[in-house]
């Protein structure tokens, strides 16, 4: 299968894994446009940790569609910083592989897995790493079924939540010392800042 793999931090190794399996993979972190897509003629587009939204023309182009690997349990925490918001809003944690549509992380779910993260033991950084290990493992375990169209995508449940990059300012002050802040401490600091406002 010819794959256009749109990636970012942590995605390159997964694209290389697909190459080892024999798939024809073009990897990029650049913003995709329709000309680029037509040039590579992918059967499928895979997006993982990719910072750009795809246009409807790009989404409709590949015969086998476009899928995204997202580190939240959709419909919770669509959009930016899903891991952080799952702790701040005490929503379910997990990972999801879903079809890409014109919304932000709103496409039908191919497969997902709920993950327990111990807030008393983990930091924001370690929890982020856990979720990325889990999404990569879920993808690898199910790639053959995804590729052969054996998993029937299901609509997302109603509700959930969405967050945008501009909301980063709401918790930026709490991570001044870095993402290695323990989750419990981060939540306490965030609550204090909210009360001050």
Q: Is the pLDDT of residue 194 over 80?
A: no
Mean of the pLDDT values across residues 24-35?
Answer: 97
| Domain count within the chain | 2
Cα 153 to Cα 44: distance, rounded to the nearest angstrom? 15
Q: How many CA atoms lie within 13 A of 84 on its CB side?
A: 21
CB 43 within 8 A of CB 65: no
Provide the whole-model pTM: 0.95
State the pLDDT at residue 27.
Answer: 97
pLDDT at position 196: 66
Confidence at 92, pLDDT banded by 50, 70, 90: very high
Which tens digits make up the pLDDT trace of 112-167? Answer: 999 999 999 999 999 999 999 999 999 999 999 999 999 999 999 999 999 999 99
Contact indicator for 161, 85 with CB cutoff of 8 Å: yes
**Together in a domain, 138 and 60:** no
Question: Are residues 64 and 85 in contact, defined by beta-carbon separation less than 8 angstroms?
Answer: no
107 & 168 share domain:
yes
Which pLDDT belongs to residue 176?
83
* Final residue before a domain boundary, out of 40, 64, 88: 64
Same domain, 59 and 96: no
Residue 169 has what pLDDT?
86
Q: Do both 36 and 105 map to the same domain?
A: no
Domain final position from 22, 47, 64: 64
pLDDT tens sequence across 45-65: 999 999 999 999 999 999 999
191 and 94 housed in the same domain: yes
Domain span at residue 21 reads 1-64
**Average pLDDT of the chain?**
95
Buried residues in 60-87 as b, exposed as e (16+ CB within 10 A): ebbebbbbbbbbbbbbbbbbbbbbbbbb
pLDDT of residue 70: 98
Largest CA distance in the chain: 56
Distance in angstroms (rounded) separating the CA atoms of residues 36 and 163: 29
Q: Answer yes or no: do 2 and 46 share one domain.
A: yes
Q: Pick from 49, 54, 27, 15: which is nearest to 143 by CA?
A: 15
101 confidence band (pLDDT: 50, 70, 90): very high
Same domain, 74 and 32: no
């Amino acid at each position: 299968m010819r794959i256009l793999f749109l990636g970012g931090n942590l995605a390159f190794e997964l694209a290389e894994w697909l190459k080892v399996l024999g798939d024809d993979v073009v990897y990029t972190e650049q913003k995709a446009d329709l000309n680029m897509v037509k040039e590579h003629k992918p059967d499928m587009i895979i997006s993982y940790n990719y910072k750009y939204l795809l246009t409807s023309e790009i989404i409709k182009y590949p015969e086998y569609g476009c899928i995204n690997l997202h580190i939240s349990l959709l419909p919770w925490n669509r959009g930016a910083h899903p891991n952080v918001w799952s702790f701040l809003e005490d929503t379910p944690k997990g990972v999801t592989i879903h079809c890409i549509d014109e919304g932000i992380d709103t496409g039908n779910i191919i497969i997902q897995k709920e993950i327990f993260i111990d807030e008393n033991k983990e930091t924001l950084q370690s929890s982020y790493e856990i979720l990325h290990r889990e999404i990569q493992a879920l993808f690898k375990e199910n790639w053959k079924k995804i590729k052969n169209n054996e998993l029937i995508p299901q609509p997302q449940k109603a509700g959930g939540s969405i967050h945008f990059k501009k909301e980063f300012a709401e918790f930026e002050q709490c991570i001044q010392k870095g993402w290695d802040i323990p989750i419990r401490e981060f939540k306490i600091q965030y609550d204090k800042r909210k009360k001050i406002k």
